[in-house]
Amino acid sequence: MKYSSETVEKAIHELSKLPGIGRKMAQRHVFFLLKQSESQVKQLAESLVDLKLKVIHCSICFNVTESDPCKICAGETRDRTMICVVEEANDVLALEKTGEYKGLYHVLGGALSPLDGIGPDNLHVRELLLRLEEAVQEIIIATNPNTEGEATALYLSKLIKPMNIRISRIARGIPVGADLEYADEVTLARAIEGRREY
């Protein structure tokens, strides 16, 4: 259904372009925003414009930042002998939330996907290899456990192995709180493979 207001229709159309938001969800968001005060909607609009004006990619790790280098790359307490390779900047946030990892990161900007036309030249692979000329002792590959992520991990490990740098892959398996009976065979197999001494 199209609305009599072109402004409402345009807002629904634009919001529905966002990942995971279809037309109905976009419609709900638009009508929610119509109920908000003008200042609240302006704050949202300004924060979206600021995303494009202020946020850049770190010239070292390609994480999102407002200063170059980013706080992680500039941090003096980070372990500079380890680099965790991730697909996207939001993966850095997820790992940082754990508070466990204290090394550096490298954001590839995606994963290898020949069907989508994404090859090594479309990712920050060359820049990663240049960083390995420093005092890096370990690369942790933390790509997603899907076909593209696995292909990317395999590709990177083949490139890095001849450099005599330790390569590890994040463990995969059963999530905390899950029941074994509901896990698929591949997840269970990876959990068995990735077992460690207790």
Give 81's Cβ-side CA count (13 Å radius). Answer: 4
pLDDT given at position 148: 93
State the span(s) of the chain assigned CATH 1.10.8.420.
Answer: 6-54
Q: Under CATH, domain 6-54 is a member of which superfamily?
A: RecR Domain 1 (1.10.8.420)
Among candidates 16, 14, 33, which has minimal Cα distance to 25?
Answer: 16
pLDDT given at position 198: 63
pLDDT given at position 188: 77
- Asked whether the whole model's pTM tops 0.85, one would answer no
Residue with tokens 């109920």: 35
For residues 79 and 101, give the distance between their C-alpha atoms in angstroms, rounded to a whole number: 9
Residue 114: cis peptide before it, omega within 30 degrees of 0: no
For residues 131 and 9, give the distance between their C-alpha atoms in angstroms, rounded to a whole number: 48
Work out the end-to-end distance of the chain between its first and last CA atoms, rounded to an integer number of angstroms. Answer: 59
What are the pLDDT tens digits along the chain (198 aa)? 666 789 999 999 999 999 999 999 999 999 999 999 999 999 999 999 999 999 999 999 999 999 999 999 999 999 999 999 999 999 999 999 988 999 999 999 999 999 999 999 999 999 999 999 888 999 999 999 889 999 999 999 999 999 999 999 988 777 777 776 777 787 777 777 777 666
Contacts of 148 (CB under 8 A, 6+ apart): 111, 112, 113
State which fold the 74-170 domain adopts.
Dna Topoisomerase Vi A Subunit; Chain: A, domain 2 (3.40.1360)
pLDDT given at position 190: 76
For residues 82 and 138, give the distance between their C-alpha atoms in angstroms, rounded to a whole number: 5
Strand pairing of 79-86 and 138-141? Answer: parallel
Contact indicator for 114, 122 with CB cutoff of 8 Å: no
pLDDT given at position 178: 73
pLDDT given at position 111: 96
Q: What is the 3-state secondary structure (H, E, C) of 85-138?
A: EECCHHHHHHHHHHCCCCEEEEECCCCCEHHHCECHHHCCHHHHHHHCCCCCCE
Angle at 182 between CA 179 and CA 183, to 5 degrees: 90
State the span(s) of the chain assigned CATH 3.40.1360.10.
Answer: 74-170
pLDDT given at position 173: 77
Tokens of 46: 């300004």
Contacts of 162 (CB under 8 A, 6+ apart): none
